[in-house]
């Protein structure tokens, strides 16, 4: 019994030495929740860098990055834990699935606010969202894929996705198909699904089977698993188009085009605005090419190696899109 | 000067809180067979293990040939000339007798290679010197129990032991093999060996030993010359319960047939024709290897016959229990069939009565707990009711099974080896309880490898030899022993 | 060798033993948490404090802790009953997942309200039972190896439910891989406004009390425990061994299914892919740490949930990875179930007894 009492006292002593966890919230404290793993995922890397830059410009603001891993069933508990810690006023995250989870957390922790990029939910006072018009993003790489496929003598292009989700179904894929058809009305789309965001081997198998079947270009919407598509393209001497940036670095020889989202800029701007007290709560914005948040990265080595004519076509497409042509109107989602 | 002296030995086991010995003494002279007896749990094994260096005493001293020693291991004791012959064989089954004897001290050619010829020669010479019959080149797995005993003794002596500690050496031997062992031990005694003989078989002790030390509750109660004692007196010293009954009393009054074997065959057994009637005890004696276990399985309904029938109350054995007949079964394998070792003593002893309680009565616990206590006391089961049955000694486990099964007021009793692990007083009580069941009208079938059980219990007796039953008409000791001797495998 | 000698002292009551085991496990967990904090974190004291106190620092946190522990209490109680009967089932994970799936299915399809909630709960129980049923039948009629069969069935169930949730039953309008949302009126009600506390912890507590009463105060429970330790002996004593061959497995399946239903009908609001999250395996661990005592399952489950929650809190404040909880849990289970280590630790903390 004496030993148990001694142990309890020792533990109490350690507890009392542990710092000020659990103290009342400071004026500004930001947690970035990555629903996955940041490394290797451009969209999440930009999320973190954008938020970090906003916080750096406001000395005294607490900042922490927490990764939630790939298990979607654990994201709700992870968000709750962040809110429950009492340390953060603002949770910044990015993923179309997150607003629904944030609503549940906000119901239990009304003192915490959420900014979710790459998502859409309006009317929730604790949440501000910004959605990218990924119809345009899909259109850009779709046009390039179509034009390059025709150039190489193929009338089929591939789309390999991690899973079905509304943004893919209603924005990315339709945009991609529109781009293919704009490049050549005879283009056909081959869709394959991996089942998760991390199985690169499975992605490689699916890509290889498409490349062996006369497909020359594949769009990978698969997070970390996309590296498998790049590997297969390298083996087949084929090409990949990419979304959200950093694709060129992952496969400089095979990634021929990258439609980008200015996630870092967006997150920086919105987090800065929120930290400065701007009332965006309950607002759901949609941004696109006309705002400069959807674009195309011309600096890839494989892109530069494409025929001049193709690149000239892409320049025209980009210029027109920036003018709103074609008009991919998206007022809500 | 004593060959071996243990003086004032104290030993306790803190893990279980057991105090095994509280100042026990044992002095064994050269050229003596000294029996160490006591009730189940009296401390015999602990004292023997201390003598052999397997345990260190908390207090007390050990002297070997007048010199004080302190053993740190069994090896130390072996070097001091003390050899252990354990109850259960520790020989390597796949090796020969010579290999077992030389294990750890192998003779080598050129210091490198195992010299099997020399090992066999040395083993054979040793055996011949003392008149052992076990062949040195025989593989242990092929030996019978008696020859394994010889091999164990030879192994101890090959290490220079002239003080032997034998723990229940006849527990697996038949009568003839026991006599052979006794002759051997007498020869060793004549050669000057000091022999500590641990047993609870009164007849053997009185037949063999020169002196007897009785242990009770961890203390040496007395040391007497064996000639000063008889069976009754020895039993009273071990456990003064006044239950010094042996032999049969009461008469049987056989009624209707209860258990019937009609041409029953199973494996090596049969065909067997046997009837056990209510109000009688039928005894079957056999040694191991004569399909006694098969007979037990058939009798208890654990197995069905391949041919013929085994029926009780007119029903085949597989349907018997569903009809609610009260059957008591005291198995040979009491741990495997007779109890649940990790369950409490209370649960084990009440297992036969559970259905008899109402839900409320059982939930309230008062009555079942009182009943369990009474049941345990009826057969002097020593143990705490909440403790697991595995904490019980072998003898107490046997008592537990007897208490529970005979409490069922059974209509049929199948009991195998009823006195295994029991000291004389407990044995007497057990046999009394079996007779009482008969007197209350039960049909009782006793199967035993101990002829004394059959002599003391059976109204009608049989011998099982090579799977066939032979009736015994005479109760004379010679008659039964001769038949069993002739039945040895 | 022969018997024991003098009578040993009376053994500790099982309840006390279980409590001591839990106290030692909790103490060990704290020590391990501190060691891991020192080894992995740059701010070990902060990590330790966040880990140990974080899950307890408010009424809401406590309620969350209890709520998270409740499904584990249910599944661990089910596992415990199966273990008592000598059936070492490894099927919990698949049974939980199937229960979650069936509950979400029924909850979304049935009319909303109490009826929908009840239907969902019963469907969850049915889901777990269905996954357990083949193993129970196999044991009863074919003497199948429960450990192997339950494990294989569980693996199959995991794949099938995964496919079902990701495929034909997926809510196409949800960016998460999840089923259709269950109407709010069919979800588990909150007991206290603003606290995430549903009736599940209470139900789980009642279930463990009920199981304790069954095992310690009923004849059938005593028979079951005797059967679990020696089925041959139980058969010879005329116990209903045929029922014992299958019923405990079914009960375990039902409890796991109920736990799965609690997951779907709680804050998730539906079955999300992967919702079982290792609950079936944790249930085995909690049952082992509870030392086979039904009442100890509740604190054992709370201990495990505290470890999970604490690891998440520590990960927020420091670099401690959330997976640290898994390592600590494994070590706690090992220590609690390793008899020699436990006996020595008990002797160290309790002192030696003398007659």
Over residues A56-82, the pLDDT tens digits come to: 999 989 899 999 888 889 899 999 989
CA-based nearest distance C272→chain A, Å: 6
- Using a CB-CB cut-off of 8 Å, the residues of chain C touching A3 are 348-349
Q: Distance between CA atoms of B313 and B276, rounded to whole angstroms?
A: 11
Residue percentage of chain C with pLDDT more than 90? 63
C347 or B290, greater pLDDT: B290
| Residue A309 pLDDT | 93
Task: Note the pLDDT of residue C345.
Answer: 61
pLDDT surpassing 60 at residue C301: yes
C-alpha distance from B347 to closest chain C C-alpha (Å): 7
- C349: nearest CA in chain A? A3
By C-alpha distance, which of B215, B192, B184, B190 is closest to B1? Answer: B192
Tens digit of pLDDT for each residue in C251-279? 999 999 999 999 999 999 999 999 999 99
Is A in contact with B (3 or more beta carbon pairs below 8 Å)?
Answer: no
> What percentage of chain B has pLDDT greater than the value 90?
43
The average pLDDT across B111-117 equals 86
Given an 8 Å threshold on Cβ–Cβ distance, is C226 in contact with B347?
yes
Q: Are B266 and B464 in contact (CB under 8 A)?
A: no
Mean pLDDT of A110-131: 94
The CA-based dihedral angle spanning residues B87, B93, B95, B99, taken in that order and rounded to the nearest 10 degrees: -10
Size of interface B-C (CB pairs under 8 A): 131
Structure confidence at residue A3 (pLDDT): 56
- Does the structure show a pLDDT above 90 at C174? no
If one compares B400 and C8, the residue with the highest pLDDT of the two is: B400
Q: Which B positions 20-59 lie with beta carbon below 8 A of chain C? A: 20-21, 40-46, 48-49
Contact C226 B198 (CB under 8 A): no
Binned at pLDDT 50, 70 and 90, residue B400 comes out as very high
Q: What is the DSSP letter of C107?
A: H
Name which of C269, C246, C304 is nearest C73 in CA terms: C304
- Would you call A170 an interface residue with chain C, using a CB distance cutoff of 8 Å? no
> Do the bridges between strand A239-243 and strand A255-261 make them parallel or antiparallel, or are there none, so unpaired?
parallel
Provide mean pLDDT across the span B200-208.
82
What is the per-residue pLDDT for A269? 96
Looking at beta carbons, which residues of chain C come within 8 Å of A4?
23, 27, 349
pLDDT single digits (tens) C219-234: 999 999 999 999 999 9
Section B98-122 average pLDDT: 87
Measure in Å the smallest separation between the Cα of C198 and chain A Cα atoms. Answer: 14
pLDDT tens string B311-370: 998 888 877 665 677 899 999 999 999 999 999 999 999 999 999 999 999 999 999 999
Residues C1, B49: C-beta atoms closer than 8 Å: yes
User: At residue C71, does pLDDT exceed 50?
Assistant: yes
Chain C hits for A95, CB-CB cut-off 8 Å, are: 175
Chosen for mutation from C19, C27, C46, C176 (greatest number of chain A CBs closer than 10 Å) is: C176
Looking at per-residue pLDDT, the higher value among B127 and C284 belongs to: C284
pLDDT at position C59: 87
Alpha-carbon span A64 to A52, nearest angstrom? 9
Question: pLDDT value at position B465?
Answer: 84
B133-177 confidence digits (pLDDT tens): 889 999 998 888 778 888 888 888 888 889 999 988 887 677 777
Reported as a single tens digit per residue, the pLDDT across B50-85 is: 999 999 999 999 999 999 999 999 889 999 999 988
On the question of pLDDT at B489 being above 50, the answer is: no
What are the strands of the beta sheet with B412-416, ordered from one edge?
Answer: B327-330, B412-416, B443-448, B280-285, B460-465, B468-472
List CB contacts of B44: < 8 A, sequence separation 6 or more: B36, B37, B38, B198, B215, C2
Highest mean predicted confidence (pLDDT) among B221-235, C197-211, C310-324? C197-211
B343 contacts on C by Cβ (under 8 Å): 225-226, 229-230
Residue C70 has pLDDT above 60, yes or no: yes
Q: Which residue has the higher pLDDT, C33 or C179?
A: C179
Check residue A25 and give its pLDDT: 36
pLDDT at A279 over 80: yes
How many angstroms separate the CA of residue B470 from the nearest CA in chain C?
Answer: 29
DSSP state of A118: S
Which C residues in the span 143-162 are in contact with B, Cβ-Cβ below 8 Å?
none
Predicted pLDDT at A154 = 95
Whether residue A290 is predicted with pLDDT greater than 70 in this model: the reply is yes
- Please tell me the distance from the alpha carbon of residue A305 to that of residue B53, in angstroms, as a whole number: 87
Mean pLDDT of A10-17: 51
Mean pLDDT of C74-96: 97
Query: Rounded mean pLDDT of B380-394?
Result: 88
**Residue A24 in this model has a pLDDT that exceeds 50:** no
Spatial distance between the Cα atoms of B49 and B165, rounded to a whole number of angstroms: 9
Interface test with chain C among B17, B296, B324, by most C beta carbons within 10 Å: B17
| DSSP, residue by residue, C329-354 | HHHHHHHHH-HHHHHHHHHHHH----
Q: A277 pLDDT exceeds 70?
A: yes
What average pLDDT is seen over chain B? Answer: 85
pLDDT band at B394 (very low <50, low <70, confident <90, very high): confident
- Which residue does chain C place closest to B15, by CA atoms? C352
Element (H, E) at A206: helix A200-211
pTM: 0.78
User: Which residues 29-68 on chain A approach chain C with CB closer than 8 angstroms?
Assistant: 31, 64, 66
pLDDT of C202 strictly over 80: yes
Query: In this complex, do C175 and A96 lie within 8 Å of one another by their Cβ atoms?
Result: yes
Token pair 């002095």 is at which residue?
B27
What is the Cα–Cα distance from A167 to A190, expressed in whole angstroms? 18
Q: For A126-139, what is the mean pLDDT? A: 95
Instruction: Report which listed range, A287-296, B99-108, B461-470, is most confident.
Output: A287-296
pLDDT greater at residue B282 or residue A195:
B282
Question: Tens of pLDDT along A162-192?
Answer: 988 888 999 999 999 999 999 999 999 999 9
Question: What radius of gyration do chain B's Cα atoms show?
Answer: 24
pLDDT at C341 over 60: no
Residue C344: closest C-alpha in chain B: B15
**CA A300/CA B309 separation, integer angstroms:** 91
DSSP three-state, residue B275: strand
Residue C323 predicted with pLDDT over 90: no
Helix axes C279-289, C241-265, angle to 10 degrees: 120
Residue B480 has pLDDT above 70, yes or no: no
What is the arrangement of strands in the sheet containing B18-28, beginning at the earlier edge strand?
B18-28, B4-13, B59-64, B67-69
List the chains bordering chain A where 3 or more Cβ pairs fall under 8 Å. C
Q: B380: which residues sit within 8 A by CB, 6+ positions away?
A: B241, B399, B426, B429
Confidence of residue B457 (pLDDT cuts 50, 70, 90): very high
Contacts C355 to B, Cβ<8 Å: 12, 17-19
C296's tokens = 């100890």
pLDDT in tens, A242-265: 997 778 888 999 999 999 999 999
Cα-flanking dihedrals φ and ψ of residue A109, to 5°? -130, 75
Interface touch C5/B46, C-beta < 8 Å: yes
Query: Is residue C272 less than 8 Å (CB to CB) from chain A?
Result: yes
DSSP code, position B385: T
Position B444 scores a pLDDT of 96
pLDDT at B18: 73
Select the residue of B45, B198, B218 nearest C6 (Cβ to Cβ).
B218
Mean model confidence pLDDT for chain C: 88
Quick check: B339 contacting C, CB < 8 Å?
Answer: yes
Name the band, by pLDDT with cuts 50, 70 and 90, for residue B104.
Answer: confident
Task: Quickly state the pLDDT bin for B132 (edges 50, 70, 90).
Answer: confident
Of A131-145, A271-285, B196-210, B389-403, the least confident: B196-210
Q: Could you tell me which of B176, B138, B168 has the C-alpha nearest to residue B154? A: B138
Residue B247 gets the label, from left (phi > 0), alpha (psi -120 to 50) or beta, of: left
Strand, helix or coil for residue A171: helix
Reported as a pLDDT band with limits 50, 70 and 90, residue C239 is very high
pLDDT tens, position by position, A209-236 = 999 999 999 999 998 899 999 999 999 9
pLDDT at C352 over 70: no
- Supply the pLDDT for residue C7: 47
Distances (CA, A) of C177 to A70, B367, C172: 12, 58, 9
B342 Cβ under 8 Å from any chain C Cβ: yes
Q: Does C36 touch chain A (CB under 8 A)?
A: no
Q: How many CB atoms within 10 Å of residue B211?
A: 18
Q: What is the structure's pLDDT at A27?
A: 44
Q: Measured between beta carbons, which residues in chain C are less than 8 angstroms from residue B167?
A: 1-2
For B340, the 3-state DSSP assignment is coil
Identify the H or E element spanning A9: helix A2-16
Q: Average the pLDDT over B121-131 and give the result.
A: 86
Q: Out of C3, C219, C233, whose CB is closest to B338?
A: C233
């Amino acid at each position: 019994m004496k030993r148990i009492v001694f142990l309890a006292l020792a533990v109490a002593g350690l507890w009392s030495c542990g710092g000020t966890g659990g103290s009342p919230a400071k004026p500004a404290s930001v947690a970035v929740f990555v629903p996955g793993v940041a490394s290797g995922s451009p969209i999440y890397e930009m999320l973190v860098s954008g938020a970090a830059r906003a916080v750096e410009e406001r000395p005294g603001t607490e900042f922490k990055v927490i990764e939630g891993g790939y298990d979607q069933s654990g994201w709700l508990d992870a968000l709750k834990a962040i809110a429950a810690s009492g340390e953060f006023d603002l949770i910044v995250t990015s993923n179309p699935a997150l607003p629904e989870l944030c609503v549940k957390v906000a119901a239990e922790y009304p003192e915490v606010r959420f900014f979710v990029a790459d998502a859409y939910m309006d009317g929730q006072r604790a949440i501000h969202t910004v959605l990218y018009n990924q119809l345009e993003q899909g259109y850009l790489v779709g046009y390039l894929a179509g034009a390059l496929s025709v150039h190489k003598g193929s009338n089929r292009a591939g789309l390999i996705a991690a899973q079905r989700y509304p943004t893919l179904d209603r924005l990315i894929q339709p945009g991609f198909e529109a781009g293919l058809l704009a490049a050549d009305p005879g283009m056909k789309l081959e869709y394959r699904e991996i089942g998760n965001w991390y199985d690169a081997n499975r992605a490689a198998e699916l890509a290889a089977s498409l490349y062996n079947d006369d497909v020359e270009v594949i769009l990978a919407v698969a997070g970390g698993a996309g590296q498998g598509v790049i590997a297969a393209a390298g083996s087949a001497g084929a090409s990949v188009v990419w979304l959200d940036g950093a694709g060129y670095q992952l496969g400089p020889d095979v990634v021929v085009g990258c439609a980008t989202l200015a996630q870092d800029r967006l997150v920086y701007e919105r987090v800065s605005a929120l930290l400065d007290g701007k009332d965006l709560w309950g607002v759901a914005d949609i941004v696109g090419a006309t705002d400069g948040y959807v674009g195309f990265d011309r600096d890839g080595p494989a892109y530069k190696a494409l025929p001049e004519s193709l690149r000239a076509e892409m320049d025209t497409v980009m210029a027109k899109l920036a003018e709103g042509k074609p008009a991919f109107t998206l007022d809500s989602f | 000067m004593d060959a071996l002296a243990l003086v004032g030995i104290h030993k306790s086991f803190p893990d279980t809180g057991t105090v095994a010995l509280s100042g026990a003494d044992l002095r064994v002279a050269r050229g003596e067979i000294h029996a160490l007896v006591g009730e189940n749990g009296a401390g015999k094994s602990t004292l023997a293990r201390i003598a052999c260096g397997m345990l260190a005493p908390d207090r007390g001293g050990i002297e070997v040939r007048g010199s004080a020693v302190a053993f740190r291991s069994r090896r130390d004791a072996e070097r001091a000339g003390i050899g252990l012959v354990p109850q259960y064989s520790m020989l390597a089954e796949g090796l020969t007798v010579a290999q077992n004897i030389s294990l750890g001290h192998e003779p080598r050619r050129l210091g490198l290679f195992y010299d099997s010829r020399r090992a066999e020669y040395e083993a054979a010479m040793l055996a011949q010197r003392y008149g052992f019959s076990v062949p040195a080149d025989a593989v242990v797995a092929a030996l019978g129990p008696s020859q394994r005993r010889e091999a164990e003794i030879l192994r101890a002596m090959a290490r220079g032991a002239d003080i032997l500690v034998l723990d229940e050496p006849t527990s697996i031997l038949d009568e003839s093999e026991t006599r052979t062992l006794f002759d051997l031990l007498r020869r060793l005694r004549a050669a000057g060996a000091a022999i500590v003989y641990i047993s609870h078989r009164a007849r053997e002790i009185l037949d063999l030993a020169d002196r007897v030390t009785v242990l009770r509750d961890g203390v040496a109660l007395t040391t007497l010359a064996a000639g000063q004692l008889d069976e009754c007196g020895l039993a009273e010293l071990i456990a003064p319960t006044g239950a010094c009954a042996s032999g049969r009393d009461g008469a049987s009054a056989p009624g209707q047939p209860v258990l019937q074997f009609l041409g029953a065959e199973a494996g090596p057994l049969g065909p067997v024709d046997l009837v056990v009637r209510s109000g009688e005890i039928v005894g079957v004696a056999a040694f191991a290897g004569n399909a006694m276990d098969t007979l037990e399985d058939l009798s208890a309904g654990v197995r069905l016959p391949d041919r013929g029938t085994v029926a009780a109350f007119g029903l085949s054995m597989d349907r018997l229990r569903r009809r609610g007949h009260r059957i008591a079964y005291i198995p040979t394998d009491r741990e495997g069939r007779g109890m649940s070792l990790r369950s409490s003593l209370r649960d084990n002893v009440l297992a036969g009565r559970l259905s008899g309680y109402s839900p409320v009565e059982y939930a309230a616990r008062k009555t079942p707990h009182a009943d369990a206590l009474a049941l345990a006391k009826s057969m002097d089961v020593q143990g705490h009711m909440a403790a697991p049955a595995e904490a019980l000694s072998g003898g107490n486990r046997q008592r537990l099974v007897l208490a529970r099964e005979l409490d069922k007021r059974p209509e049929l009793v199948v009991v195998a080896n009823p006195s295994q692990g029991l000291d004389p007083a407990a044995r007497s009580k057990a046999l009394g309880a079996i007779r009482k069941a008969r007197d209350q009208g039960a049909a009782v079938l006793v199967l035993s490898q101990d002829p004394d059980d059959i002599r003391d219990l059976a109204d009608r007796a049989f011998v099982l030899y090579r799977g066939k039953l032979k009736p015994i008409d005479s109760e004379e000791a010679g008659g039964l022993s001769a038949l069993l001797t002739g039945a040895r495998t | 060798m022969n018997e024991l000698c003098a009578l040993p002292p009376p053994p500790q009551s099982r309840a006390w033993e279980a409590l001591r085991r839990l106290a030692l496990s909790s103490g060990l967990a704290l020590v391990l948490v501190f060691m891991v904090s020192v080894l992995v974190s740059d701010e070990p004291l902060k990590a330790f404090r966040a880990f140990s106190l974080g899950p307890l620092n408010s009424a809401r946190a406590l309620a969350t802790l209890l709520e998270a522990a409740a499904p584990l209490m249910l599944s661990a109680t089910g596992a415990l009953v199966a273990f008592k009967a000598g059936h070492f089932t490894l099927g919990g994970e698949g049974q939980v997942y199937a229960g979650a799936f069936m509950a979400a299915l029924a909850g979304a399809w049935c009319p909303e309200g109490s009826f929908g909630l009840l239907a969902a709960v019963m469907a969850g129980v049915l889901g777990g039972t269905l996954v357990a049923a083949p193993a129970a039948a196999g044991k009863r009629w074919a003497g199948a190896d429960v450990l192997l069969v339950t494990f294989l069935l569980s693996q199959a169930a995991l794949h099938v439910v995964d496919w079902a949730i990701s495929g034909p039953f997926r809510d196409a309008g949800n960016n998460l891989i999840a089923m259709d949302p269950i109407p709010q009126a069919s979800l588990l009600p909150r007991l206290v406004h603003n606290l995430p506390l549903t009736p599940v912890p209470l139900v789980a507590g009642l279930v463990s009390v009920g199981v304790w009463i069954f095992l310690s105060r009923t004849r059938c429970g005593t028979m079951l425990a005797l059967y679990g330790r020696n089925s041959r002996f139980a058969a010879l004593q005329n116990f209903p061994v045929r029922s014992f061959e299958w019923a405990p497995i079914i009960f375990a399946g039902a409890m796991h299914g109920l736990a799965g239903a609690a997951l779907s009908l709680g804050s998730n609001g539906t079955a999300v892919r992967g919702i079982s999250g290792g609950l079936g395996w944790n249930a085995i661990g909690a049952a082992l740490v509870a030392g086979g005592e039904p009442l100890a399952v509740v604190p054992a489950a709370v201990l495990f949930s505290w470890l999970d929650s604490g690891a998440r809190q520590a990960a927020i404040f420091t670099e401690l990875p959330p997976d640290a909880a898994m390592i600590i849990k494994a070590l706690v289970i090992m220590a609690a179930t390793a008899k020699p280590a436990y006996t020595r630790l008990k002797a160290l903390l309790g002192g030696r007894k003398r007659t």
